[in-house]
């Protein structure tokens, strides 16, 4: 691979060519950018115009973003003869016909805006070629390294961005998560069992000015004696039948049966969390006929001793699941499609899988005697970045753990993002429904009756909850103790869900 000195020179020349995110996006224009999200390069080509007039920036866009074969002389002019030769020697470029070269591993600008608790991210990522640009369906090598994908973006949005001393990027791939972690972690360790992934991640990180400790190995083997304040992972969670030699796609399929790899990522990771450490995992899990998925996953989580919030964002039946991943591998148009489809269905049936849950798992090593476990179906829209909601939920669980007396003695405040909605027939004197809705985080909503709505409406930090309940009891002419007994568990739930804070 490229030496550190080569990568440092390459970074300088990428800057000199204005091959960074904002200038590249401006060059291809809004239509070009939208087309690339659809894996169509035509709008970007129209924005670039005639290749005969290409400058260095346009040459690099064609080489690495559009994945064209580009004249060797043009690449050498854009980067310098020395780096052109070094990229060929490192096999990041490969010779093509007619004195042209093609990118074996594109280097693409990458960036993300600053979010709560994190700095902006700006740099480059190096990954294997996109196999499906412009309707193509290139076969994937078994050690294929993905670039930035919807899954990696989602995981970045899930991650709690509080400052930490040590973070682990488990299964780093091209290094995207480590770019984000470097903004709020004093030390980043990135692991992968795919040597090619670590080679390309090294390119991504060095070009982007990020120092991470890259280690080769499966799951937690490379960090067996260490603990971390934060672990993030988008592991190879796809439940696929055993593959022949060279057929398994390392980035998405593990060697363990069913969802056992996900279980090990979560359970073993919990043991490597420092006190108050957190873990965010993007994954899927099996749904079986003999046990609700919540109970099955709770069986994984209870022995860890960690608080957990698990959100099932989507449920697929086996047919949908198999079709999704066959298409992902480009096998939906293969002559072997039907045979592979049936083998996959038989494999899932043999495991007793009747559906697959896709979602998010967040753990926190809170040191609680009775961990707080919440496992929910949550297919609804959320407010990104949702990592901030996970961080807020940690504190909300702590607040809601107070005993009844302390809960009622607190001067609560309504979160500023809570709005009240009323629903009813036009012209009716009173609404039929009153809903408290969050315009933040998970976007939760709860229906409130008169007493609960009055309690929440009066929570402005001046009076304790006990004083408010007593006032409501007088107004409604009901027994104060009975009303307190009714409202206290509902108050606790509102605190745990983040509607109220102290």
Residue 427 binned pLDDT confidence (cut-offs 50, 70, 90): low
Cα–Cα distance, 457 to 468 (Å, whole number): 10
User: Over 60: is that where the pLDDT of 269 sits?
Assistant: yes
* Residues 262, 266, 267: CA angle, nearest 5 degrees: 115
- What is the H or E stretch that residue 453 is in? helix 450-457
The pLDDT of 30-58, averaged and rounded, is 95
Residue 359 binned pLDDT confidence (cut-offs 50, 70, 90): very high
The DSSP secondary-structure symbol of 241 reads P
Tokens in use for 409? 């003695």
Identify the residue with better confidence: 113 or 54. 54
Residue 285 DSSP SS3:
strand
Q: CA torsion 265→267→271→276, rounded to 10°?
A: 90
Instruction: State percent of the chain over pLDDT 90.
Output: 86
Mean model confidence pLDDT for the chain: 94
What pLDDT was estimated at residue 112?
87
Number of neighbours of residue 236 by Cβ within 10 angstroms:
23
Cα–Cα distance, 226 to 494 (Å, whole number): 37
- The residues facing 109 across adjacent strands are 124
Give me the residue label for tokens 């064609």: 62
Cα–Cα distance, 68 to 64 (Å, whole number): 7
The DSSP secondary-structure symbol of 397 reads H
The pLDDT of 393-400, averaged and rounded, is 94
Least confident of 428-442, 459-473, 487-501: 428-442
Least confident of 104-108, 126-130, 409-413, 428-432: 428-432
109-390 belongs to which CATH class?
alpha beta
Identify the residue with better confidence: 431 or 336. 336
What is the per-residue pLDDT across 61-103, written as a single tens digit (0 to 9) for each? 999 999 999 999 999 999 999 999 999 999 999 999 889 999 9
What pLDDT was estimated at residue 246?
52
Could you give the count of Cα atoms lying within 13 Å of 297 in the half-sphere of its Cβ? 31
In Å, what is the CA distance from 102 to each residue of 30, 98, 149, 326, 373?
26, 11, 22, 27, 50
Residue 112 DSSP SS3:
strand
- The residues facing 309 across adjacent strands are 362, 374
Q: Are 486 and 472 in contact (CB under 8 A)?
A: no
Cα–Cα distance, 311 to 302 (Å, whole number): 16
Residue 43 binned pLDDT confidence (cut-offs 50, 70, 90): very high
Provide CB contacts within 8 A for 301, sequence distance 6+: 266, 267, 308, 310, 363, 371, 373
Provide CB contacts within 8 A for 41, sequence distance 6+: 35, 65, 66, 67, 133, 134
| Closest CA relative to residue 281, chosen from 220, 219, 357, 361 | 361
What pLDDT was estimated at residue 387?
94
Identify the residue with better confidence: 195 or 114. 195
| 309 phi/psi in degrees, rounded to 5 | -125, 115
Numbered ranges of CATH 3.90.930.60 in the chain:
402-501
Tokens in use for 239? 């439940």
The DSSP secondary-structure symbol of 134 reads G
| Closest CA relative to residue 57, chosen from 35, 78, 43 | 78
User: Over 90: is that where the pLDDT of 424 sits?
Assistant: no
Alpha helices in 271-386 (DSSP H): 293-301, 318-328, 337-350
What pLDDT was estimated at residue 180?
96
What pLDDT was estimated at residue 114?
72
What pLDDT was estimated at residue 226?
96
Cα–Cα distance, 292 to 5 (Å, whole number): 55
In Å, what is the CA distance from 54 to each residue of 57, 231, 291?
8, 43, 61
User: Over 70: is that where the pLDDT of 245 sits?
Assistant: no
Number of neighbours of residue 142 by Cβ within 10 angstroms:
15
402-501 belongs to which CATH class?
alpha beta
The DSSP secondary-structure symbol of 156 reads H
Could you give the count of Cα atoms lying within 13 Å of 26 in the half-sphere of its Cβ? 7
Residue 244 binned pLDDT confidence (cut-offs 50, 70, 90): low
User: Over 90: is that where the pLDDT of 470 sits?
Assistant: yes
Provide CB contacts within 8 A for 458, sequence distance 6+: 468, 471, 472
What pLDDT was estimated at residue 333?
73
Per-position b or e across 308-335, b if 16+ CB within 10 A of its CB: bbbbbbebbebeebbeebbeebebeeee
What pLDDT was estimated at residue 432?
75
What pLDDT was estimated at residue 77?
97
Numbered ranges of CATH 3.40.50.150 in the chain:
109-390
The pLDDT of 450-457, averaged and rounded, is 92
Residue 336 binned pLDDT confidence (cut-offs 50, 70, 90): confident
């Amino acid at each position: 691979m490229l030496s550190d000195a080569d990568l440092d020179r390459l970074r300088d020349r990428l800057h000199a060519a204005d091959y960074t995110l904002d200038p590249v996006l401006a060059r291809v224009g809004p239509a070009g950018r939208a087309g690339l999200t659809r894996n169509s390069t035509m709008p970007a080509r129209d924005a670039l115009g005639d290749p005969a007039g290409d400058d260095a920036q346009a040459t690099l866009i064609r080489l690495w973003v559009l994945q064209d074969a580009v004249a060797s002389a043009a690449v050498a002019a854009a980067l310098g003869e020395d780096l052109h030769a070094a990229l060929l020697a490192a096999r990041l470029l490969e010779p093509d016909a007619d004195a042209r070269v093609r990118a074996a591993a594109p280097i693409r600008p990458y960036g993300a805006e600053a979010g709560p608790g994190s700095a902006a991210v700006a740099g480059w990522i190096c990954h294997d070629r996109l196999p499906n640009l412009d309707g193509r369906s290139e076969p994937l090598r078994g050690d294929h390294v993905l670039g930035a994908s919807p899954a990696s973006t989602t995981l970045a949005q899930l991650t709690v961005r509080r400052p930490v001393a040590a973070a682990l990027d488990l299964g780093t791939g091209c290094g995207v998560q480590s770019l984000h972690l470097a903004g709020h972690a004093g030390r980043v360790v990135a692991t992968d069992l795919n040597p090619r992934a670590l080679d390309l991640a090294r390119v991504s990180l060095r070009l982007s000015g990020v120092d991470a400790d890259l280690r080769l190995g499966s799951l937690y083997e490379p960090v067996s004696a260490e603990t971390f304040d934060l672990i993030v992972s988008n592991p190879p969670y796809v439940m696929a039948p055993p593959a022949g030699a060279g057929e398994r796609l390392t980035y998405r399929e593990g060697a363990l049966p069913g969802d056992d790899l996900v279980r090990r990522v979560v359970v073993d990771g919990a043991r490597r969390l420092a006190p108050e450490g957190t873990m965010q995992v993007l994954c899927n899990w099996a749904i079986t006929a003999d046990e609700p998925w919540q109970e099955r996953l709770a069986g994984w989580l209870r022995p860890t001793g960690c608080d957990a919030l698990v959100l099932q964002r989507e449920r697929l039946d086996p047919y949908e699941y198999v079709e999704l991943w066959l298409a992902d591998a480009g096998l939906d148009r293969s002559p072997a499609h039907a045979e592979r489809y049936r083998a996959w269905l038989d494999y899932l049936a043999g495991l007793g899988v009747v559906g697959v849950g896709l979602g998010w798992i967040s753990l926190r090593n809170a040191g609680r005697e009775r961990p707080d476990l919440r496992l929910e179906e949550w297919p609804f829209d959320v407010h990104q970045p949702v990592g901030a909601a996970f961080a807020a939920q940690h504190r909300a669980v702590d607040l809601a753990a107070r005993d009844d007396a302390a809960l009622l003695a607190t001067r609560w405040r309504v979160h500023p993002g809570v709005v009240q909605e009323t629903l009813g027939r036009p012209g009716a004197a009173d609404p039929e429904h009153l809903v408290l809705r969050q315009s933040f985080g998970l976007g939760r909503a709860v229906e409130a009756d008169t007493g609960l709505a009055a309690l929440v409406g009066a929570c402005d930090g001046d009076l304790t909850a006990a004083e408010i309940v007593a006032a409501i009891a007088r107004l409604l002419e009901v027994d104060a103790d009975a009303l307190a007994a009714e409202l206290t568990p509902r108050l606790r739930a509102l605190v745990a869900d983040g509607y109220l804070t102290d």
